A and B are shown apart, each in its own frame.
Chain A
Amino acid sequence: MKARWNSDVVHAACWGLLVAGILLLAIYFGSGRLRHFDAALVPYTGAAVFAAFGCGYRFAMWLRRPPTRSYWFSGWRIFFRPSRLPANIARLLQLLFNDFLEQRFIEKRSKLRWAAHWLIAWGCILAAAVTFPLSFGWVHFQNAPHDQHVYRAFFFGQQVFTFHLGGMVALLTFNILDISAVMVLTGVALSLWRRARDRGAIAVQQFAQDMMPLLMLFAISITGLFLTASTHLLHGLNYGFLSMMHAVTVIFALLYLPFGKFFHIFQRSAQLGVQFYKDEGQKGEQARCIRCGEAFASQMHVNDLKNVQSDLNIHYELPQGRHYQEVCPVCRRKSIALAQDGTWRELRTPETTRTLWPDHP
């Protein structure tokens, strides 16, 4: 068991190093061999590289779990089946729109929860899409050679667009982090409101899992907005201190990313694979319960579960070659009750009746 654990750790560490290495190479070449890399942002970059290692490590460890591995490989195998690939790509786009862009499945749980999550998620995605490329030197701006009021935006060294400094594009580009901070702060406020009032949430929430990430997002967003306020409203008052505070909050969140609640951002990708797996299962043979004969799941799912259980040392094998996994959940519940009732029925002989209930007629 210990050898297996060590092998898992080495395997995952290798994946972590590979992901971190790819990021370092992307930073080196993406920033024009560090020509556009801002040395003042080294702490951010260091934390991002560590986060890349941590995410690679944890994702690989996660995939070592038998049920995760089973779904991962089945999902990709089904997705890349040549005859279904075009339909699967269309389905993927539909799933991305519903589950990723709109996040409708959360809306069905609670509208308040959905609003909070959508604002936080898209606020963070927007901020990440700006800050990571900027701090890695993948994006930089230059004045146009003949016009100081025109900016040119470069991505991986290639000019992608130009904009006038007085225009709407400039306004959005230079304030996009403030916009994302307001989105995140609104989402955090809604979340805290819900968590303070929802008795179900209050019963199960934990500080480290549920409150800490919200506090972290709050700290990042508010210190970011303070920087803007210091620049535009307070003539740069305490800018150095505030930028250091902001860096600390961002670096802390990056170090936390692979090991805390934020990791669900990566885990949720499995939701897409599961949909393909379910679609495939519905089209295929259905498993019928060995007790009632009713179809209750896809045969593929039942077979895969048996393999997963075997890997996990779960022994549901029954006599006569049957398997408890072939019993539907309804019949399991009935069998439990019958088994419990049966223990009492065994006692109901005239002799035991006289023993248990001497006054019985």
Chain B
Amino acid sequence: MNEMEFFIDHSRCIGCRACMQACEECDTHRGASMIHLETIMRADSVQTAPQVCMHCEEPICAQVCPADAIKKTADGIVQSSLKPRCIGCSNCVLACPFGVPKYKAEINQMMKCDMCYDRTSIGKGPMCATVCPSGALAFTTREQIERTRQGVAIREWSFGGEVVKTKVNVLVPRHVHRIDVSVEQLGMTSTDEYDVANLLMGEPNGRK
């Protein structure tokens, strides 16, 4: 009950990028941030969202890896690709339902968030959650998170017909048991770059 777990609440993100800076300090990938921070729709909203590896129970990245280079530790952490094995094909980058793995062309290897294994394997919190000022990323006990937050922490997702269970939790209202990344959210929302000058001139959408 008192086991430390990772919780993510995308809607709390304030886009400060502290998580990205802290991530670069992690010893297993020093100097390279493994966390993604997305600006959702720049013209309409200041909404940003962090994305860490969700550490799936049955990682799809590992299943589609032709080199058998992605391994999960006994404590449920999906590691970066094994350096001797990774052949840099990017199958994992394209197949991960959460869009997490990064292909580093210069070293021909996939790297990803490993929940700061240098820290979490010895009982410390991951860098990103440790520095997040808004609580969008938190590393604490389930009891603590549910006592201090609205809603509940769940770890089940669906992508079309694929149900994915993860080690990392997401905070949702109490009636939600699974997040369905449905076709409505995948509607044709353009993410073209916006021209800020056009926006200031009152152009309807400011598209370039």
Chain A residues within 8 Å of B, Cβ to Cβ? 62, 65, 67-68, 70-72, 105, 108-109, 198-200, 202-204, 261, 264, 267-268, 270-271, 274, 277-278, 290-294, 296-297, 301-302, 305, 308-309, 312, 314-320, 322-325, 327-344, 346-347, 356
* Min C-beta distance of B106 to chain A, whole Å: 5
Tell yes or no: B113 within 8 A of A by CB: no
Tell yes or no: B18 within 8 A of A by CB: no
Whose C-beta in chain A lies nearest to the C-beta of B29?
A: A200
Whose C-beta in chain A lies nearest to the C-beta of B108?
A: A105
* Min C-beta distance of B50 to chain A, whole Å: 8
Chain B residues whose CB sits within 8 angstroms of the CB of A302 once the complex forms:
94
Whose C-beta in chain B lies nearest to the C-beta of A352?
A: B173
Q: How far apart sit A277 and B89, CA to CA, in the bound complex (Å)?
A: 9
Chain B residues whose CB sits within 8 angstroms of the CB of A335 once the complex forms:
181, 185-186
A324 in contact with B97 (CB, 8 Å): yes
Q: How far apart sit A72 and B29, CA to CA, in the bound complex (Å)?
A: 30
Can you report 26 residue pairs joining A to B where beta carbons are below 8 Å apart? A62-B68, A68-B68, A108-B106, A200-B26, A203-B27, A271-B87, A271-B108, A297-B90, A301-B90, A302-B94, A308-B91, A309-B64, A312-B63, A316-B97, A317-B160, A324-B97, A324-B162, A329-B100, A332-B99, A333-B98, A335-B186, A336-B49, A337-B13, A339-B179, A340-B171, A356-B150
Whose C-beta in chain A lies nearest to the C-beta of B73?
A: A204
Q: Please classify the interface of chain B as helix (H, G, I), strand (E, B), loop, or mixed, using the class held by over half of its residues.
A: loop
Chain B residues within 8 Å of A, Cβ to Cβ? 9-11, 13, 26-30, 36, 38, 40, 47, 49, 51, 60, 63-68, 79, 83-85, 87-91, 93-100, 106-109, 114, 117-118, 121, 150-151, 157, 159-162, 170-173, 176, 179-183, 185-192
Residue with the highest number of chain B CB atoms closer than 10 Å, among A292, A320, A324, A339: A339
Q: How far apart sit A270 and B69, CA to CA, in the bound complex (Å)?
A: 12
Chain A residues whose CB sits within 8 angstroms of the CB of B30 once the complex forms:
200
A203 in contact with B187 (CB, 8 Å): no
Chain B residues whose CB sits within 8 angstroms of the CB of A330 once the complex forms:
38, 99, 191
B173 in contact with A346 (CB, 8 Å): yes
